[in-house]
Amino acid sequence: MRLLRTVTTRLLRNKTYGFLNIAGLTIGITCAGLIFLWIGDELSFDQGNKHFNTIYSVLVNTSGGDYNFTLGSTPRPMAAAMKTDIPGVAAAARASDNGVRMLFTVAGKPMNATGLYADPDVFNIFTIPFTQGNARHPFPQLYSIVLTERSAVRLAAGRDFSGTSADSADVIVNQTFADLIDKKGVIGRTIQSHRNMSGATYKEMRIVGVVNDDVYGNIYGSPGPVAFFSKVTTDDWCNLVYVRIRDQQNSHQTLAAIGAVIAKNNPSYPFQYKFVDDQFNSLFADEVQMSQISGIFAGLAILISCLGLFSLAAYTAERRIKEIGIRKVLGATVTGVAALLSKDFLKLTGLACLVAFPMAYWIMDGWLRNYEYRVGIHWWIFALAGATAMLLSILTVSFQAIRAALANPVDSLRSE
């Protein structure tokens, strides 16, 4: 009780210091708690699976010319062979890459749902509780499916779309594909394709154009080889139509007209659309989330730093109060006294910038190297950050500096 009474008395006597100390401590504890919660969530996202520490994804490293690729597409017999020939493998399952859109018709109403093709062992690898059915025998017949509760509900209400077409021997490739063939030029060259051919038969395709590499699929790695066929056939897995709208301001009217055409010519498939820029932006959802979280923590760090500067400025002004009084008696101006107190803090801020900028450049450069296409780190970013830090320091310190400079020197020297 005596300690609590002493602390309370000191806080009431020094309300400014008390507020700064309590506010800084509160914000610091809050930041630490948020950081630990975020890190804990990132490290435990897969711990909902009972065997999370023994689950692995099998990838294939392959090369072509001067390029190396890491793919998730493995030979079809590999999963069964691993389970049979490797004693340490308890379960192995093949699964389609990303989500596969499938068309369902329920009570005469068409709808699309996103799912995966997978072997039954997938339920022995991942912990997926069954509310109905048998987890040991999830696919009792050839065309069996396992639904989530949400999908089961959606199948009772429903909607989506698809497309069709025909064939040609012309093909356009991207720059990576062209470099694998011949870096000097590939226009007019022929490649062999198994597309739409049966057995071991291959068809010769003539390259008629080369396009620049683009970001698709994996946003972190180098672009893989891509071929664009001029026409598609009924055997191709093509269920999307890309449309460029002339007038973006009237996009709703255009989309309504497209929906009417699809409903008229292909009524079995519901119409659903997505904007390409939205799909592209969704690839960077993790980066956007990280940016938002980093912005919050950066703001809190700046606030804590300003509170620390404010406290240090108040302490410095209190410690040098008699010196300030003597300088004022000898003719020092308010501006001069304020500049005297502020310049030391500006030196500390400048020193902090010299230490922080190389570390920031090293960390950012390492992070950006994860991306094949990335922005550069320009000098003006650090210049702007330094100027902002100096401005914040001046604004934070100036209040205490001006307050000390305006104080009556008689009051500060009375005790002498």
pLDDT digits (tens, 9 = 90+) for 190-244: 888 776 666 566 678 888 888 888 776 667 777 788 888 766 665 566 677 888 8
- Domain total in the chain: 4
In the listed set 238, 253, 277, which residue is the last one of a domain according to the structure?
238
386, 295 Cβ separation under 8 angstroms: no
Same domain, 187 and 228: yes
φ and ψ of 64, to 5 deg: -150, 110
Angstrom distances, CA of residue 197 to CA of 193, 194, 202:
8, 5, 6
pLDDT digits (tens, 9 = 90+) for 43-87: 777 777 888 788 888 888 877 667 777 777 788 888 888 888 888
Average pLDDT value for residue range 306-316: 78
Scanning the structure block, which residue is given the tokens 């410690």? Answer: 319
Greater confidence (369 vs 162) lies with: 369
Residue 223 lies in a domain: yes
Q: Which amino acid is at 404?
A: A
Last residue of a domain, one of 124, 154, 184: 154
- 162 pLDDT exceeds 70? no
51 falls within a domain: no
- Contact between 5 and 299 under an 8 Å Cβ cutoff? The reply is no
Strands 227-229 and 203-211: unpaired
Claim to verify: residue 325 and residue 301 sit in the same structural domain: yes
Give 28 or 340, the one with higher predicted confidence. Answer: 340
Mean pLDDT calculated for residue range 302-330? 78
- Has residue 128 been placed in a domain? yes
What is the 8-class DSSP label of residue 16? H
- Indicate if the pLDDT at residue 414 is higher than 70: no
Query: Is residue 98 domain-resident?
Result: yes
Distance from C-alpha of 184 to C-alpha of 64, rounded to nearest angstrom: 17
Looking at the fold, whether 66 and 117 belong to one and the same domain comes out as yes
Per-residue pLDDT band for 159 (boundaries 50, 70, 90) equals: very low
82 and 116 in a single domain? The answer is yes
Q: Do 149 and 169 fall into the same domain?
A: no
In sequence order, the 6+-apart residues with CB closer than 8 A to the CB of 84 are none
Asked if residue 205 is part of any domain, the answer here is yes
Domain range enclosing 184: 164-238
Task: Indicate whether 176 and 122 sit together in one domain.
Answer: no
Domain co-membership, 6 together with 78: no
Write down the number of H helices and E strands in the chain.
13, 8
Q: Are residues 218 and 297 in the same domain?
A: no
Structural domain contains residue 342: yes
Work out the angle at residue 71's Cα, subtended by the Cα atoms of residues 77 and 191, and round it to the nearest 5 degrees. 90
Comparison of pLDDT for 245 and 33, the residue scoring more: 245
Indicate the range of 123-137, 147-161, 183-197, 359-373 predicted with least confidence: 147-161
Domain boundary among 106, 126, 154: 154
Within this chain, do residues 106 and 36 fall inside the same structural domain, yes or no?
Answer: no
Q: For residues 178 and 165, what is the distance between their CA atoms, to the nearest angstrom?
A: 26
Regarding whether 302 and 408 lie in a shared domain, the answer is yes
Q: What confidence category does residue 247 fall into, taking pLDDT thresholds of 50, 70 and 90?
A: confident
Q: Quick check: is 80 in a domain?
A: yes
Low-confidence winner among 132-146, 153-167, 386-400 (lowest mean pLDDT) = 153-167
Question: Does residue 48 lie in a domain region?
Answer: no
- Per-residue model confidence as pLDDT tens digits over 362-401: 888 888 887 777 788 888 888 888 888 888 888 877 777 7
Q: Which residues contact 280 (CB under 8 A, 6 or more apart)?
A: 215
Mean pLDDT, rounded, for 241-248: 80
Q: Does one domain contain both 306 and 380? A: yes
Helix or strand or coil: residue 389?
helix
Same domain, 351 and 378: yes
User: Per DSSP, which regions of 327-377 are E strands?
Assistant: none
